[in-house]
Amino acid sequence: MKIEFIKDKLQKAVNQAERSVGKNLSLPILSNIILETENKKLIVKSTNLEIGVEIEVAAKIEGDLKVAVNPSLLNNLLQNLPNNEKIEINKEEDLFIINTNKGQVNLKTQTTEDFPIIPKVTSDKVINISIKNFIEGIKSVAYAAALSDIKPEIASVYLYSEDQKLFFVSTDGFRLSEKFIILDNFSPKELINLIIPLKNALEINRILSDQPTDGELVIMTDNNQISIMSDGLHITSRIIDGVYPDYRQVMPKDLKTRIELNKNDFINTLKLAGVFSDKFNRLTIDVNKEIVTLSTKNNETGESILKITPRAYSGEGLSLTISSRYLLDALQSIDDEYIILGFNESNKPLYLKGFDDVTFQGLVMPLRT
């Protein structure tokens, strides 16, 4: 048995697979990655039972291989080899042998019998989407998901398709974000409605970030899992068995007060005001026809009263206290020069979106004063 390949290709696959290895005392094999030949291809596999990854590595293969190795050790070794070096691997008894231009390295291996089969979804619910758009969809909303698993439905990212759009939604009860991506060649049978645990969604994004951004994804779903496939990459994740809250009920249909602001100017002013925020990042926004005033106060360090002139204004004046950090998180998801802030009452959520970019909208709930 002999397998030859370029070092960089294996190193990239090991990096991607290492992110989803598990720590399970009753199933220690999960802390390893599997290198296995299948149909004349070298496959690197890993799973933590929540998410599973399989990555193909281009290689010249003679014979069969299936070996479990420590990913950190293998990664450290590969990082210290020259780029584009051709290396050869094989297995003798319990040793994984790596031959390089500088010599031979032997890694201890583990038995592979206990490594679980990584499931693959077969379904007619298929969506095609670019890697760049999928990453952007997750990234635009993930910050708003709950971090506690007490309510798993909201410690997640909600995905559903409607009217040739794929929506991404997250909320932790204190803020809410929605992003949609236009789908090409959409058909009704491709409708999906699923909830991905936040941890898995973030891991999927990290793994996809190593793929070419101009690549395409094929997404297949069933009642229990989602499979995400790209060139030589297969990711399978558990999905939540539950119903996502009807978040559209809290989206305001009308706005009593609407202002337009330069986004970067607003962000810079928020950061300046944040210097004197308290531990809750409390920020008071006072709105009138001419000026938006941002006020913060910290009893130990000082206070700030900063003013911004809106580009446009309509409605009545009011005052609202919110978390400046929640507002800054949401603003990072708007790719637009100008933003719209919408207000109704002091005890109603702040609404925000881009002026031209209609693909994102968010809410931030007010704080008690």
Mean pLDDT of 131-142: 96
Q: How many CA atoms lie within 13 A of 131 on its CB side?
A: 18
| Mean pLDDT, range 50-77, rounded to an integer | 94
Residue 110 DSSP label: B
Characterize the bridge pairing of strands 338-343 and 257-262: antiparallel
Say how far apart CA 62 and CA 51 lie, in whole Å: 30
**Is residue 185's pLDDT more than 90?**
no
Given phi > 0 = left and psi -120 to 50 = alpha, else beta, which region is 70?
beta
Judged against a pLDDT cut of 80, whether residue 235 lies above it is answered with yes
Question: How many Cβ atoms are within 10 Å of 229's Cβ, its own excluded?
Answer: 18
Which tens digit of pLDDT belongs to each residue from 31-42?
Answer: 999 999 998 899
Amino acid residing at 283: L
Residue 123 confidence (pLDDT): 82
Helix (H) or strand (E) holding 306: strand 302-308
Highest mean pLDDT among 82-86, 127-131, 148-152, 307-311: 307-311
What's the whole-number mean pLDDT along residues 237-253? 95
Indicate if the pLDDT at residue 294 is higher than 80. Answer: yes
Give pLDDT tens digits for 313-367.
999 999 999 999 999 999 999 999 999 999 999 999 999 999 999 999 999 999 9
C-alpha span between 270 and 308 (Å, rounded): 10
Given this model, what pLDDT does residue 335 score?
Answer: 93
Residue 236 β-bridge partners: 52, 227
- Report the pLDDT value the prediction gives residue 244, as an integer from 0 to 100: 96
Residue 205 pLDDT greater than 70, yes or no: yes
**Region for 49 from its dihedrals, namely left if φ exceeds 0, alpha if ψ lies in -120 to 50, beta otherwise:** left
**Residue 92: which residues within 8 A CB-CB, separation 6 or more?**
none
DSSP string, 310-351: -SEEEE--EEEEEEHHHHHHHHTT--SSEEEEEES-TTS-EE
d(CA 21, CA 17): 7
Q: Is the pLDDT of residue 189 over 70?
A: no
Give mean pLDDT, residues 182-200: 83
- How far apart, in whole angstroms, are the C-alpha atoms of residue 113 and residue 90? 19
Residue keyed to tokens 């800054």: 328
d(CA 225, CA 307): 49
The dihedral through the CA atoms of 189, 191, 197, 202 has a sign that is positive
End-to-end CA distance of the chain: give it in Å, rounded. Answer: 71
pLDDT class for 188, splitting at 50, 70, 90? low
Q: Over the stretch 151-162, which tens digit does the pLDDT of each residue have?
A: 999 999 999 998
Tell me the pLDDT tens digit for each residue of 46-56.
999 999 999 99
Query: What is the rounded distance in angstroms from the CA atom of residue 203 to the CA atom of residue 221?
Result: 18
Half-sphere exposure of 227 (CA within 13 A, CB side): 18
Residue pair 145/240 in contact by the 8 Å Cβ criterion:
no
Strand arrangement, sheet containing 95-100: 60-62, 2-6, 86-92, 95-100, 103-108
